[in-house]
C-alpha cells in the first residue's frame, strides 16, 4: 500500500495520544482548587506571590490559577459551567453577568462565609441578589478612573495638573500648539475605551455621581437630560487632541504610544499602572477628571470590578471556602493591592499602598464623591444592553459621526424598549 | 508517458519569452504580497522595542538587534509542549479524516443501498453548519465520556468537523474513476476491501493530498475547541498557547512578535512536508 | 449498481466502509447540532428553566426592531463580504492557478508553496500583523503609499465605518486565496494533455485554448469553489472577532452572521448570552446557507451540466 508511512505514523500518534489522555485524566486530587479568571495579565503574580503566600498558611491545599483571555472569558466560562467542567473558584464580573450565573444555580451562596463580614454593603453591592438576600461572590478589588500624564513632558512645557474643564482644554491646546506630543492618547478602534475611559471617566462630574446613577435606574432621570448630553459634548471636544489616525488606534497602541513617551495625557483606569510601571522609563503622575467650571464637588468612578465566587458543582467547596476566608484577610488585601497597584482591595482593613501613583488615585477617595459606572447595575440586563450601546455611540461621537443629542437619544430609546421605568 | 514529456518541450519554443517574463512578474508580485506581512513579523521579532516603533520596516542592525522576546517566550511558556500537542492532534485527526472520509465517500458513490441519499445529504449538511454551534452539547458529551481536558476529545471533534468536506471532495474524485477498472477487478473476484485499498485509494491520492491540506489548516489554527475542551496545563495547543501569551503580554511587542514567529515556523515546516506529498500526489497524474 | 443485481448476503463491506465515519460524525457533530438547533424553539427564564415557545424567537428575531435591525445588518454585511470574495479571491485564484499550470514554468512549485503560506496561518497572527501594517500610528502602509505617490489616499481603513468591512474582506481574501488556487490548479492538471495538444496543433492561441478547452473542463471545480466560498463566508467569524471584537465596530459596520451569533449565544460584556435566542440565530444561518446551496444546485449546476453536454 502506498500510504503506509503516513498510516504507520498515525498509529504511533494514536498510541501517544492515548497515553496522554490517560495520564491527564487523573489529576483531580482531593484538595486541588482551580481558579477561573479573565485576568491573564496577573498569572505571574498569582503563581509567584499570592498562591505561595496562601500555601504558607495552608500547605495541604493546592491552587492552580487558570486564566482565559478576557474576550473569551464569559463564553468559555458559561460553556464550562454548563458542561460541568469549570474550576472550583470563579472570578466574578460585577452585576448582571454573575447574577445570572447565580440565578441559574452555578454559584454557591456565600452568606455563611466568615470572611464576608470584612466587606461593607457598598463593596458587596455588585454581587448581591436584587432583593439583597444572597451574596454570591466575595469582593476583591475596585478600579478608579482618571488621567495619567507624563511628568517629564509636563515639566518640559511648564504645565500644571488641571482642576477645571477650561484648564483641561487649555492644557490640551498648549500641548497641541507648542509641542509635537499627542495631547490625548486614546483610540476608538477597540471601542471600550471610548465608553470606559471617556464617558464613565468624565461623566460622574456631570450627573453628580451616585445621585444621577440611582435616578437613572429609578427612571427619574433620562439619558436625554442635559447633564448626560453634556458628557458627550465634552467628549466631542476631545477629537482634535487625539493622535492622528485615532480611529484605527487600539488599546495596546495607546499604551505603547504613551510608554514610549510620544503622548502627554492618557485617559486611564488605575489598572494601567502595573503596565506603565514596567514599560515607561519616565515618571508619570495622575489627576482626577476636571470638574465643570464653577462646580466645587468632584466625582470619581471608583468601580467595583472583580470578585471571587465558588462553583456550586465544585467537589472541594470546603477548601474553596478556606481560600475565600484567606482572601478576606488583611494579609491578602495588602499583598494583592501592592502586587497589583491600581487594584484597590475592597475589604475594610487599613492597608498601606506603596506605589505613589496608585496612592494618588486612592487619595481621591477623600477628596471626591465616589460612584460606580452607571450602566452596570440593572440597565444592561435587557436587549439592547446599555453598556454595548454606550460603547457604540461614544465611539461615534469621538469619531465625529454622531451628535451628542443623537447619542443620548439612541441610548434612551434602547432603554425604553425593555426597561419599564424608562417607558 | 513519453509523448507527454516531449510535446511540451517543443511547445515551449513557441512561447514568447516576453510572455514568460510577464508571467513571472505577476507571480512574483503576488508572492511578495503573500509573504510581506510574514516578513514584517519575523524581522521585528529580532529588534528592540524602541526600534520596532521607530521604523518597523528596517532590518535588525547590530544596534537594534535583540533576542529578548525569544528569551522571554521560551522562559515563560512551554512552547515545545504546545508544539507537540498540536502535532499529535493535527496528524491524528488528519489520518482519520482521510481514511474514514475516503471509506464513506467510497461507500456512498459505489453502492446503492437504502438510506444512501439520506446519508449523503447528512454529510453535505455538515459542510454548511459550523460544528461550533453544538459546543455545549459536545462539552456535555465529552464530560460524560470523561474526556474533558484530553487531546482525545479534540481529535474526535476534529474528525467530525473534517469529515463532511473530505467526503464531499473525495466523492467527486471517486466518481471520476473509470468504472472499467473496478469491474475488471470484480471479474477477477477481488474483494471489495481490496478494490478500495489497492485500486481506489492510490487513484485518489491527489484528492487526498488536497483534502489533507484543507483539513489541516482549521485544525492547526483552531482556538475555540482547545479553549473549551483542553485548556488545562499541559494540553494547550500552540495556537491557544500563543493567544494566551499575546493576551498576557499584549503591550510587550518583543515577546508577542517572538511568539508569533515561533508559531509560524512549525506551520511552515509542516506545510513544506505536506507540500511535497501534495506535489507528488498532484503530479502523479493518477486520474489522467 | 453492481452488487444488488443478484441476491447477495448482507453487505458487510458497506457497513465496514460507512460505520466508523458515520458513527463519529453523527454522535459528535449531527447530534450536538440538532440538540442545539432544537433549543431555538424554547425560551429560558432567569433561573435557566426552559419551556417550549414555538416560533416566538424567530418572530422576535425577524420582526422586533431591536433584533431584526442587527440581523438584517449582519446579513447584508455578510453578503458584501461574500461578494468581495467572489469578485477578488476567486478570479485571483483562477489567474494564479492558470499561470502556475502553464507547462514548463520555472519555479512553479516554489510560487505555489509560497503563495499558499498565508492560508496556513492562524487569525491570531493575521489579525495582529494586518493591524500593524494598516495602523496609522506605525505608518507602514502610509509610507508605502507616499512612496508610490498615492499618500493622500491613506486613511485608518480598519477604523472607518465606510471602509472597515471591505478592508477586512480583503484581508480574508489575502489569507484564503490559496484555496481556490489549489483546487483549480489540481483540476487544471487533471485535464488530459492530449486535449490541449490537439488544440495547440489546431493552431489555437493560448487564450483560445484556455477559453475553449480548459475553462469548460474546470467549470465544475469553479462551481465547487464558489459554493465552498459561500458556505465559508457565511460561517466566517474568527478574523472579524480577532480584529474588531464581538461588537464588530465601528457602529456594527463589520458585524456578520458569525459575530451576531456569538454575541447572542454567549453574550458580551454585561449582556448575558441567551442559548435559546442564539440557537434561533444559528438555525437562520443554517437556513440561509441551505437556501444558497439549493439555488446553486438547482440553477447553476444544472445549467452547467447542460453546458458540458
Q: Smallest Cβ distance to A388: which of C262, C265, C271?
A: C271
* A335 and A298 belong to one structural domain: no
pLDDT reading at A2 higher than 50: no
Percent of chain B having pLDDT more than 70? Answer: 87
pLDDT reading at C69 higher than 90: yes
B159: nearest Cα among C23, C187, A94, C170 = C23
How confident is the model at residue B49, as a pLDDT?
Answer: 81
DSSP letter at A41? G
* Residue C194: pLDDT band with limits 50, 70, 90: confident
- Alpha carbon distance A195, A394 (integer Å): 6
Average pLDDT over residues C262-278: 84
* Beta strand A369-371 pairing with A299-310: parallel
* Residue C301: pLDDT band with limits 50, 70, 90: low
C117: nearest Cα among B285, B21, A136, B34 = B34
A22 belongs to a structural domain: no
* A356 and A294 belong to one structural domain: no
Does an H or E element contain A414, and which? helix A404-416
Q: Which residues pair with C271 in a beta bridge?
A: C268
Top-confidence residue, B232 or B207:
B207
Q: Which residues of B touch C24 (CB under 8 A)?
A: 96, 100, 156, 159-160, 163
How confident is the model at residue B124, as a pLDDT?
Answer: 87
Q: Where in chain B is the domain with CATH 1.10.3720.10?
A: 78-283
A388 belongs to a structural domain: yes
How confident is the model at residue C128, as a pLDDT?
Answer: 85
How confident is the model at residue A3, as a pLDDT?
Answer: 36
How confident is the prediction for chain C on average, in pLDDT?
Answer: 87
pLDDT reading at B285 higher than 70: no
pLDDT reading at B138 higher than 60: yes
A342 belongs to a structural domain: yes
ipTM exceeds 0.95, yes or no = no
In chain A, which residue's Cα lies nearest the Cα of C263?
Answer: A75
Q: Is C243 helix (H, G, I), strand (E, B) or coil?
A: helix
How confident is the model at residue C92, as a pLDDT?
Answer: 96
A201: nearest Cα among A307, A300, A272 = A300
pLDDT reading at B272 higher than 80: no
Q: Is A60 helix (H, G, I), strand (E, B) or coil?
A: coil
Region of poorest pLDDT, from A94-103, A116-125, B31-40, B220-229: B220-229
Contact of C262 with chain A, judged by CB distance below 8 Å, is answered with yes
Interface of A with C in 246-305 (CB under 8 A): 246-250, 253, 257
Percent of chain C having pLDDT more than 70? Answer: 94
How many C-beta atoms surround the C-beta of residue C221 within 10 A?
20
- Cβ proximity of A198 and A396 under 8 Å: no
- Alpha carbon distance A403, A400 (integer Å): 7
- Alpha carbon distance B113, B121 (integer Å): 14
A2 belongs to a structural domain: no
- Alpha carbon distance A134, A150 (integer Å): 44
Tens digits of residue pLDDT in A15-31:
444 343 333 443 444 58
CATH of domain B78-283: 1.10.3720.10
Residue A321 C-alpha cell reads as 471556602
A345 belongs to a structural domain: yes
Domain stop point among A367, A387, A403: A367
How confident is the model at residue B255, as a pLDDT?
Answer: 82
| Residues sharing a CB contact under 8 Å with residue A244, sequence separation 6 or more, in sequence order | C136, C137
Angle at alpha carbon of residue C138, lines to C136 and C144, rounded to 5° = 80
* A281 and A161 belong to one structural domain: yes
Q: Smallest Cβ distance to A21: which of B91, B135, B152?
A: B152
pLDDT reading at A298 higher than 70: yes
Q: Which residues of A touch C261 (CB under 8 A)?
A: none
Average pLDDT over residues C58-79: 95
Tens digits of residue pLDDT in A186-224:
999 989 999 999 999 999 999 999 999 999 999 999 999
Phi-psi region of A353 (alpha: psi -120 to 50; beta: other; left: phi over 0): beta
How confident is the model at residue A143, as a pLDDT?
Answer: 94
Beta carbons of A66 and B232 less than 8 Å apart: yes
Domain stop point among A330, A349, A367: A367
The C-alpha cell 453634556 sits at A230
Q: Which residues of B touch C280 (CB under 8 A)?
A: none
Contact of C251 with chain A, judged by CB distance below 8 Å, is answered with yes
Top-confidence residue, C138 or C22:
C22
CA distances from A375 to A195, A234, A303, A372 (A): 10, 19, 11, 9
How confident is the model at residue A27, as a pLDDT?
Answer: 42
Q: Is A149 helix (H, G, I), strand (E, B) or coil?
A: strand
Beta carbons of C249 and A74 less than 8 Å apart: no
* A35 and A169 belong to one structural domain: no
How confident is the model at residue B283, as a pLDDT?
Answer: 52
Interface of C with A in 48-67 (CB under 8 A): 48, 66-67
A8 belongs to a structural domain: no
A138: nearest Cα among A109, A157, A116, A160 = A116
Domain range enclosing A342: 29-142+303-367
Interface of B with A in 58-87 (CB under 8 A): 76
Tens digits of residue pLDDT in C233-253:
998 988 998 888 888 889 999
CATH of the domain at A226: 3.40.190.10
Instruction: Label each residue of C112-166 as H, E or C.
Output: HHHHHHHHHCCHHHHHHHHHHHHCCCCCHHHHHHHHCCCHHHCCCHHHCCCCHHH
How confident is the model at residue C300, as a pLDDT?
Answer: 73
Tens digits of residue pLDDT in A313-335:
999 999 999 999 999 999 999 99
N- to C-terminal Cα separation, chain C: 24
- Cβ proximity of A257 and A189 under 8 Å: no
Contact of B134 with chain A, judged by CB distance below 8 Å, is answered with no
Domain stop point among A343, A367, A391: A367
* A138 and A168 belong to one structural domain: no
Residue A211 C-alpha cell reads as 445621585
Tens digits of residue pLDDT in A138-188:
999 999 999 999 999 999 999 999 999 999 999 999 999 999 999 999 999
pLDDT reading at B27 higher than 60: yes
Q: Which residues of A touch C136 (CB under 8 A)?
A: 244-245, 247-249
Instruction: Label each residue of chain B as H, E or C.
Output: CHHHHHHHHHHHHHCCHHHHHHHHHHHHHHHHHHHHHHHHHHHHHCECHHHHHHCCCCCCCCCCECCHHHHHHHHHCCHHHHHHHHHHHHHHHHHHHHHHHHHHHHHHHHCCCCCHHHHHHHHHHHHHCCHHHHHHHHHHHHHHCCCCCCHHHHHHHHHHHHHHHHHHHHHHHHHHCCHHHHHHHHHCCCCHHHHHHHHHHHHCHHHHHHHHHHHHHHHHHCCHHHHHHCCCCCCCCHHHHHHHHHHHCCCCHHHHHHHHHHHHHHHHHHHHHHHHHHHHHHHCCCCC
How many C-beta atoms surround the C-beta of residue C42 within 10 A?
19
Number of domains in chain A: 2
Q: Which residues pair with C44 in a beta bridge?
A: C50
How confident is the model at residue A115, as a pLDDT?
Answer: 94
How confident is the model at residue B279, as a pLDDT?
Answer: 59
* Beta strand C50-52 pairing with A284-287: unpaired
DSSP letter at A1? -
A227 belongs to a structural domain: yes
How confident is the model at residue B286, as a pLDDT?
Answer: 37
C-alpha atoms less than 13 angstroms from C-alpha of A167 in its C-beta half-sphere: 14
* Residue A410: pLDDT band with limits 50, 70, 90: very high
Min Cα distance A141 → chain B (Å) is 20
| Residues sharing a CB contact under 8 Å with residue C91, sequence separation 6 or more, in sequence order | none
pLDDT reading at B224 higher than 60: yes
Contact of A406 with chain C, judged by CB distance below 8 Å, is answered with no
* A349 and A390 belong to one structural domain: no
Q: Smallest Cβ distance to A385: which of C46, C252, C270?
A: C270
* A316 and A358 belong to one structural domain: yes
List b or e across A349-375, with b for residues whose CB sees 16 or more CB atoms inside 10 angstroms: eebebebebbebbbebeeebbbbbbbb
Min Cα distance C6 → chain A (Å) is 31
Average pLDDT over residues B213-218: 83
- Alpha carbon distance C271, A379 (integer Å): 10
Average pLDDT over residues A45-64: 92
Percent of chain A having pLDDT more than 90? Answer: 75
CA distances from B143 to A82, A86, A176, B136, B230 (A): 10, 11, 59, 10, 12
Domains in chain C, please, with CATH? 39-308 (1.10.3720.10)
Cα C229 to the center of its chain, rounded Å: 4
Average pLDDT over residues C259-266: 88
Does an H or E element contain A62, and which? strand A62-67
Average pLDDT over residues C49-56: 91
Q: Which residues of C touch B8 (CB under 8 A)?
A: 103-104, 193
* A198 and A288 belong to one structural domain: yes
- Cβ proximity of C18 and C11 under 8 Å: no
* A206 and A329 belong to one structural domain: no
* Residue A12: pLDDT band with limits 50, 70, 90: very low
- Alpha carbon distance A361, A352 (integer Å): 13
pLDDT reading at C218 higher than 70: yes
pLDDT reading at C223 higher than 60: yes
Beta carbons of C116 and B275 less than 8 Å apart: yes
- Alpha carbon distance B145, C33 (integer Å): 18
Average pLDDT over residues A39-56: 88
Beta carbons of B91 and A256 less than 8 Å apart: no
In chain B, which residue's Cα lies nearest the Cα of C184?
Answer: B210
A13 belongs to a structural domain: no
How confident is the model at residue C102, as a pLDDT?
Answer: 83
Beta carbons of B198 and A84 less than 8 Å apart: no
Amino acid at each position: 500500500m502506498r500510504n503506509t508511512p503516513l498510516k504507520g505514523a498515525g498509529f504511533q500518534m494514536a498510541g501517544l495520544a492515548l497515553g496522554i489522555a490517560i495520564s491527564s485524566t487523573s489529576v483531580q486530587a482531593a484538595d486541588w482548587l482551580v481558579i477561573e479568571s479573565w485576568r491573564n495579565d496577573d498569572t505571574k503574580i498569582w503563581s509567584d506571590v499570592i498562591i505561595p503566600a496562601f500555601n504558607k498558611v495552608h500547605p495541604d491545599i493546592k491552587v492552580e490559577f487558570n486564566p482565559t483571555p478576557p474576550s473569551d472569558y464569559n463564553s468559555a466560562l458559561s460553556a464550562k459551567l454548563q458542561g460541568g467542567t469549570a474550576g472550583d473558584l470563579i472570578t466574578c464580573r460585577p452585576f448582571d453577568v454573575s447574577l445570572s450565573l447565580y440565578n441559574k444555580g452555578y454559584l454557591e451562596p456565600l452568606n455563611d462565609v466568615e470572611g464576608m463580614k470584612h466587606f461593607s454593603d457598598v463593596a458587596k453591592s455588585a454581587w448581591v441578589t436584587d432583593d439583597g438576600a444572597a451574596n454570591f461572590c466575595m469582593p476583591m478589588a475596585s478600579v478608579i478612573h482618571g488621567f495619567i500624564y507624563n511628568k517629564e513632558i509636563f515639566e518640559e512645557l511648564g504645565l500644571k495638573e488641571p482642576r477645571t474643564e477650561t484648564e483641561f482644554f487649555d492644557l490640551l491646546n498648549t500641548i497641541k500648539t507648542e509641542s509635537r506630543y499627542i495631547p490625548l492618547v486614546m483610540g476608538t478602534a477597540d471601542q471600550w475605551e471610548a465608553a470606559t475611559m471617556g464617558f464613565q471617566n468624565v461623566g460622574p462630574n456631570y450627573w453628580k455621581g451616585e445621585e444621577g446613577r440611582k435616578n437613572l435606574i429609578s427612571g427619574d432621570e433620562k439619558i436625554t437630560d442635559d447633564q448626560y448630553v453634556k458628557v458627550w459634548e465634552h467628549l466631542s471636544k476631545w477629537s482634535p487632541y487625539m493622535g492622528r489616525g485615532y480611529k484605527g488606534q487600539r488599546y495596546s497602541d495607546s499604551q505603547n504610544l504613551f510608554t514610549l513617551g510620544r503622548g502627554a495625557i492618557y485617559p486611564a483606569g488605575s489598572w494601567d499602572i502595573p503596565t506603565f510601571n514596567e514599560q515607561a522609563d519616565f515618571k508619570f503622575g495622575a489627576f482626577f477628571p476636571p470638574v465643570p467650571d464653577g462646580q466645587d464637588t468632584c466625582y470619581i468612578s471608583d468601580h467595583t470590578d472583580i470578585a471571587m465566587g465558588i462553583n456550586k458543582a465544585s467537589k472541594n467547596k470546603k477548601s474553596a471556602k478556606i481560600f475565600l476566608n484567606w482572601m478576606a484577610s488583611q494579609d491578602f488585601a495588602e499583598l494583592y493591592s501592592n502586587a497589583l497597584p491600581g487594584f484597590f482591595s475592597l475589604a475594610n482593613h487599613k492597608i498601606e499602598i506603596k506605589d505613589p501613583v496608585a496612592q494618588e488615585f486612592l487619595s481621591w477617595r477623600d477628596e471626591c464623591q465616589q460612584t460606580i459606572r452607571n450602566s452596570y447595575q440593572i440597565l444592561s440586563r435587557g436587549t439592547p444592553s446599555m453598556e454595548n450601546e454606550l460603547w457604540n455611540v461614544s465611539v461615534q461621537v469621538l469619531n465625529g459621526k454622531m451628535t451628542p443629542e443623537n447619542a443620548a437619544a439612541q441610548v434612551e430609546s434602547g432603554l425604553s424598549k425593555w426597561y419599564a421605568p424608562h417607558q | 508517458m513519453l509523448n507527454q514529456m516531449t510535446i511540451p518541450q517543443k511547445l515551449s519554443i513557441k512561447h514568447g519569452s516576453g510572455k514568460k517574463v510577464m508571467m513571472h512578474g505577476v507571480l512574483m508580485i503576488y508572492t511578495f504580497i503573500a509573504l510581506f506581512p510574514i516578513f514584517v513579523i519575523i524581522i521585528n521579532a529580532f529588534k528592540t522595542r524602541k526600534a520596532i516603533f521607530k521604523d518597523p520596516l528596517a532590518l535588525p542592525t547590530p544596534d537594534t538587534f535583540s533576542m529578548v522576546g525569544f528569551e522571554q517566550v521560551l522562559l515563560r511558556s512551554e512552547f515545545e509542549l504546545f508544539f507537540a500537542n498540536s502535532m499529535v492532534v493535527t496528524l491524528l485527526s488528519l489520518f482519520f479524516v482521510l481514511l474514514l472520509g475516503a471509506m464513506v465517500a467510497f461507500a456512498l458513490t459505489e453502492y446503492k443501498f437504502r438510506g444512501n441519499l439520506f446519508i449523503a445529504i447528512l454529510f453535505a449538511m455538515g459542510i454548511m453548519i459550523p460544528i461550533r454551534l453544538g459546543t455545549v452539547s459536545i462539552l456535555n458529551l465529552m464530560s460524560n465520556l470523561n474526556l474533558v481536558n484530553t487531546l482525545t476529545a479534540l481529535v474526535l471533534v476534529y474528525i467530525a468537523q473534517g469529515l463532511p468536506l473530505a467526503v464531499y471532495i473525495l466523492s467527486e474524485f471517486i466518481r471520476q474513476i473509470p468504472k472499467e477498472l473496478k469491474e475488471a477487478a470484480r471479474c477477477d473476484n477481488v474483494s471489495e476491501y481490496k478494490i478500495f485499498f489497492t485500486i481506489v485509494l492510490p487513484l485518489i491520492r491527489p484528492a487526498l493530498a488536497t483534502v489533507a491540506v484543507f483539513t489541516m489548516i482549521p485544525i492547526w489554527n483552531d482556538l475555540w475547541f482547545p479553549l473549551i475542551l483542553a485548556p488545562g496545563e499541559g494540553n494547550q495547543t500552540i495556537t491557544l498557547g500563543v493567544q494566551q501569551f499575546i493576551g498576557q503580554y499584549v503591550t510587550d511587542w518583543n515577546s508577542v512578535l517572538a511568539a508569533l514567529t515561533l508559531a509560524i515556523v512549525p506551520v511552515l515546516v509542516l506545510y513544506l512536508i505536506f507540500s511535497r506529498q501534495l506535489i507528488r500526489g498532484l503530479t502523479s497524474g493518477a486520474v489522467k | 449498481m453492481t452488487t444488488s443485481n443478484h441476491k447477495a448476503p448482507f453487505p458487510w463491506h458497506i457497513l465496514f466502509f460507512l460505520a466508523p465515519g458515520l458513527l463519529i460524525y453523527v454522535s459528535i457533530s449531527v447530534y450536538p447540532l440538532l440538540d442545539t438547533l432544537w433549543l431555538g424553539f424554547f425560551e429560558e427564564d432567569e433561573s435557566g428553566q426552559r419551556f417550549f415557545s414555538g416560533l416566538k424567537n424567530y418572530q422576535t428575531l425577524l420582526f422586533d426592531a431591536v433584533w431584526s435591525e442587527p440581523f438584517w445588518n449582519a446579513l447584508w454585511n455578510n453578503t458584501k463580504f461574500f461578494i468581495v470574495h467572489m469578485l477578488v479571491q476567486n478570479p485571483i485564484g483562477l489567474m494564479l492557478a492558470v499561470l502556475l499550470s502553464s507547462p514548463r514554468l520555472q519555479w512553479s512549485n516554489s510560487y505555489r508553496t509560497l503563495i499558499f503560506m498565508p492560508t496556513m496561518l492562524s487569525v491570531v497572527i493575521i489579525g495582529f500583523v494586518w493591524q500593524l501594517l494598516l495602523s496609522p500610528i506605525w505608518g507602514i502602509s502610509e509610507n508605502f503609499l507616499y512612496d508610490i505617490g498615492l499618500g493622500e489616499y491613506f486613511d485608518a481603513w480598519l477604523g472607518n465605518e465606510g471602509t472597515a468591512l471591505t478592508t477586512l474582506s480583503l484581508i480574508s481574501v489575502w489569507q484564503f486565496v490559496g484555496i481556490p488556487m489549489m483546487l483549480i490548479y489540481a483540476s487544471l492538471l487533471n485535464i488530459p494533455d492530449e486535449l490541449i495538444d490537439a488544440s495547440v496543433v489546431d493552431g489555437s492561441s493560448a487564450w483560445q485554448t484556455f477559453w475553449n478547452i480548459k475553462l469548460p473542463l474546470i467549470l465544475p471545480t469553479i462551481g465547487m469553489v464558489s459554493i465552498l466560498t459561500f458556505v465559508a463566508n457565511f460561517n466566517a467569524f474568527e478574523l472579524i472577532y480577532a480584529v474588531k471584537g464581538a461588537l464588530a465596530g465601528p457602529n456594527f459596520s463589520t458585524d456578520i452572521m458569525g459575530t451576531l451569533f456569538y454575541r447572542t449565544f454567549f453574550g458580551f460584556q454585561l449582556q448575558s448570552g441567551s442559548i435559546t435566542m442564539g440557537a434561533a440565530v444559528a438555525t437562520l444561518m443554517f437556513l440561509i446557507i441551505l437556501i444558497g446551496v439549493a439555488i446553486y444546485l438547482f440553477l447553476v449546476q444544472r445549467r452547467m451540466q447542460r453546458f458540458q453536454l
